[in-house]
Chain A
């Protein structure tokens, strides 16, 4: 019933293509760079036709960098491992802490619950350095600087509000009568929670968990300030990488590609839930 002229449709398509070029070109270009050697990168004018090389990746993965100044050890794999460990650990901890709390906030309307939920929410929007800088002073004294656990604990600042507010919404959508029916059938509260509430909120828990993983992975400032050198994730590691001497641009590009790929792939996989997750449940996709 809407009359869309051919001209308008053509203009729309052109605009969409332009938008896609702007937003995808950087990723495309960095991926290309990661398969080029230094000569190919420095060539003017740049060209998308070249003989691809895997050398950048093998260097990163073996961790041995041959330079004119001799051999250099690079800890990029270690960074990747740290990112994986920190993000996974944070998500698991935030699920253990957040899912029962989300359930409590959804089912029992109580003052303390609302206060906790809103405090965590408001700190989601407070400047992270406000909390991080004082923490960095006593992180050492607490012996947390050199532990993954200390960082995972701090990562709850990002993960917990996400889990709490998304999963809470899913619990609210489960009719309390369904749980009541299971209780009356003779099951304890705990069995009911495990067999009824959790399975029915599973899509929300999965979505929130994936998003929490992505946000933890992408976080930069927490680890920059609190992590010791051998606990640093890729976001911090890659920056140090850029300033290290003797590193080739192709290797930087390859490092960036390896660092962003996990979250990009997860995002494509979980795209159905991203809208809801990004808005903390305020907008449904």
Chain B
């Protein structure tokens, strides 16, 4: 297609527009469509694999077994462990991050110089690669020289094993997750808080309404769309956490931190059980698909509002 500009005054050739009008949007989105297809092909392959007996080390056994991989999960304690570990991880991290994030956002809500500086500095953990953040914490919790190991020993916890102890492993990864992702919730809620209309608060202040009442009856309900969006956003990421867990413990000790994606990764590369690994991913996908549908609705509403305000 020739999009060169027209030649000279007067002798302007009349360019037909019909082609451009109708084909242009499709031409422009063609590359993005190809990427889409590039994603959908492996996705469909994954669905297919999940219905197969497929082990890389036993190619002869390959065969179609319908839903047997899924049915086997029902009586598989490792699967139920994965489900419960993933859900616990997701819920614990999101709740802690939400409470902390909301608290910090409320602390920083006035746009003073200190608060603005703090809110910018708090972005740094969020911009650290989670895999590298996990390594940083690994160094800090090293039993020989880790600063955190030293600090807890001062308050009596000598020989605190952090991620290598099944009793404290979840606590340790949660700490790293909280360190990385609390700022995410914080900056979303801070933006939300700062965009709230002023009148209700001024009216409440004039009437001498107690601050707890203002918080629970005005601030919180008005902030709710932001809270829901931020939490769902985090929940979606958290339930499929891989980087932090894998870098820190590879799912261990034992199966203490065997979350979905780590389990599927090991299933695939260590036990070369492609079919089972794919089925595991399909279960996780079903959960995230359900959540992301709710999330996208919320997110669109908020987006509409953000566009309207600007």
Contact = CB atoms under 8 A, between A and B. Distances in A.
Let me know if chains A and B touch directly in the complex, using CB atoms closer than 8 Å: yes
Given A104-B29, A131-B46, A27 B20 contact: no
A22 B145 CA distance: 19
Interface string A82-116: 00000000000000111011011101101011001
Contacts of B233: 279
Q: How large is the interface on A (under 10, 10 to 19, 20 to 34, 35 or more residues)?
A: 35 or more
Contact of B306 (A44, A225, A283): A283
Contact of A160 (B32, B277, B296): B32
A264 interface: yes
Contacts of B260: 127
Specify the main secondary structure of chain A where it touches its partner. helix
Contacts of A160: 32, 35
Contacts, number: 296
A24 B296 contact: no
Given A105-B29, A249-B145, A186 B6 contact: yes
A220 B247 contact: yes
B31 interface: yes
Contacts of B38: 153, 156
B42 A260 contact: no
Interface string B28-39: 110111011011
B42 A131 contact: yes
A259 interface: yes
B24 A104 contact: yes
A136 B56 CA distance: 12
A264 B28 contact: no
A268 B116 CA distance: 12
A218 B268 contact: no
B236 A97 contact: no
Given A127-B260, A235-B131, A282 B306 contact: yes
Nearest to B301: A282
Interface stretch (B66-74, B133-141, B166-174): B133-141
B306 A267 contact: no
A53 interface: no
Contacts of B289: 122, 126
B195 A23 contact: no
A125 B288 contact: yes
A181 interface: no
A24 B121 contact: yes
B131 A220 contact: yes
B144 A42 contact: yes
B295 to A, nearest CB: 7
B132 interface: yes
B114 A16 contact: yes
B5 to A, nearest CB: 5
B3 interface: yes
A285 B43 contact: no
B3 A188 contact: yes
B150 interface: yes
Interface string B108-152: 100000110010111111111111110111111010110100100
Contacts of B39: 119-120, 123, 131, 157
Contacts of A125: 236-237, 288, 291-292, 295
B210 interface: no
A137 B285 contact: no
A133 B264 contact: yes
Interface string B261-301: 10011001000001001100110110011011001100110
Interface in A8-67: 12-13, 15-16, 19-20, 22-24, 26-27, 29-30, 33, 41-46
B128 A27 contact: yes
B162 interface: no
Interface stretch (B77-85, B90-98, B180-188): B180-188
6 contacts: A122-B296, A127-B288, A134-B46, A219-B129, A267-B126, A278-B126
Interface of B: 3-6, 12, 15, 20, 24-26, 28-29, 31-33, 35-36, 38-40, 42-43, 45-46, 49, 104, 107-108, 114-115, 118, 120-133, 135-140, 142, 144-145, 147, 150, 179, 182-184, 187-188, 191-192, 195, 202, 205, 226, 229, 233, 236-237, 240, 242-243, 246-247, 260-261, 264-265, 268, 274, 277-278, 281-282, 284-285, 288-289, 291-292, 295-296, 299-300, 302-303, 306-307, 309-310
Given A26-B179, A169-B303, A218-B132, 13 more contacts: A19-B122, A23-B182, A103-B28, A110-B25, A129-B261, A130-B43, A133-B278, A169-B307, A191-B5, A235-B129, A256-B135, A263-B128, A267-B127
Complex A-B, nearest 6 residue pairs according to Cβ-Cβ distance, in ascending order: A218-B129, A190-B3, A267-B127, A104-B28, A220-B131, A101-B32
